[in-house]
Structure 1
Amino acid sequence: MDKDSRIRDTQNRIKDVFKKRQQKALSTNHATAVIKDGLTCTFTQGEFSAVMDMPAIMGGDAAGPTPGFFARAGIAGCVSIGIKQTAVMAGAVFDTVTVDIETDFDDGAAMGLGDASAAPLETRLAIRISTNLPAPEVFALVEKALSMDPWFLALRDAQHVKFNLIVDE
């Protein structure tokens, strides 16, 4: 069985489960980030972990990519995978999906300088697809994929974010 057929079969099975039992489509992911010494942070979710740090110029040890690296990787990866999945489910062949991401920042705001927000100023995605399909069909599939992409939507749309503080004494 080729990869596209396996993807389509697997996703059709899970979609059937979600149609029959809508509550199965709801999920919560729990993950933990821990910093003990310096700025090196270990993030763990299930069996996977990643190390993040800041560059030396920011006081870190450069023991891993910055958190922003992983945020951009998550968005670009989610978008590219979502586009490929959407194409496969539609029976379309996308030979290559490439997503470039650029994000503008006010780094002074991230250091508490001035009144500007530390939120990214703008994020731009450049999506390149290698396929034999006509551009209007590709555009429609990409629009459909983006309308269902959790991390594209999280970046694009405001969402409610809350925190709970626990102080260990």
Structure 2
Amino acid sequence: MEEQAEIKNKFERISEALTLKPSLGLGCGTSKTRIVSGLSCEITEGDWTFRTDMPEQVGGTATGPTPGVLGRAALGSCLAISYMMWASKMNIPIDSLEVEIQADYDDGALFGTSNTAPGYSEIRYMITIKSTATESEIESLLNIADRHSPYLDVFANAQNCIRQVQFIKA
């Protein structure tokens, strides 16, 4: 509960600052991804460095998780963090919280053998939460947090994607 009290305090301080000066909430996240070898990629953003790759059976070397793993992890962790932040804000004690992401896909779209869309056909998220709060309180918490979850919005709604190309002649 001490952690949740600290989360609540910081949540309220940031909310107050953003209410007074909304421009503080505006930003642009920038990551760079480069092919290291074959299908293996290195992703950097700020001080963080990640690696992705594809399984050997599709030409990768399996030196890291696939982009799909990171995408599902982004959604699951964003939901879990959002639930904990809002539980703290709403004084709802959480003993444990887990989010499982299941995403259905057809790899035939990636390899040009299927007419389906290359993205997920359906995403399901299951929440396991242990709390002394009532089911009604938990349901309210989940509904509020879902409305404010950035990655649930990214996954649920089309985003405006703009491609720009810089060509360097070899």
**TM band (smaller chain):** over 0.9
TM-superposed CA distance for 1:166, in Å, is 1.2
Query: The residue matched to 1:106 in structure 2 has which SS?
Result: coil
Query: The residue matched to 2:34 in structure 1 has which SS?
Result: strand
Q: Give per-residue Cα distances to partners, 1:54-105, cap 9 Å, x unaligned.
A: 0101100101010100000000000011001100001110111111111111
Check whether the contact 2:36–2:42 (CA below 8 A) recurs between aligned residues.
no
Within 5 A, what are the aligned runs for 1:12-31? 12-31=12-31
RMSD of Structure 2 on Structure 1 (CA): 1.2
Equivalent residue, structure 2, for 1:83: 83
Which ranges of 4 or more aligned residues in structure 1 deviate by more than 3 Å? none
Deviates more, 1:7-16 or 1:85-94: 7-16
Equivalent residue, structure 1, for 2:123: 123
The one-letter amino acid paired with 2:35 is I
TM-superposed CA distance for 1:24, in Å, is 0.7
Equivalent residue, structure 1, for 2:142: 142
Query: The residue matched to 1:109 in structure 2 has which SS?
Result: coil
Within 5 A, what are the aligned runs for 1:59-78? 59-78=59-78
Q: Which runs of 5+ in 1 are unaligned?
A: none
Equivalent residue, structure 2, for 1:11: 11
How many residue pairs get aligned? The number is 169
TM-superposed CA distance for 1:161, in Å, is 1.4
TM-superposed CA distance for 1:49, in Å, is 1.0
Percent identical pairs in the alignment equals 27
Provide TM-score, normalisation by structure 1: 0.96
Provide TM-score, normalisation by structure 2: 0.96
TM-superposed CA distance for 1:2, in Å, is 2.2
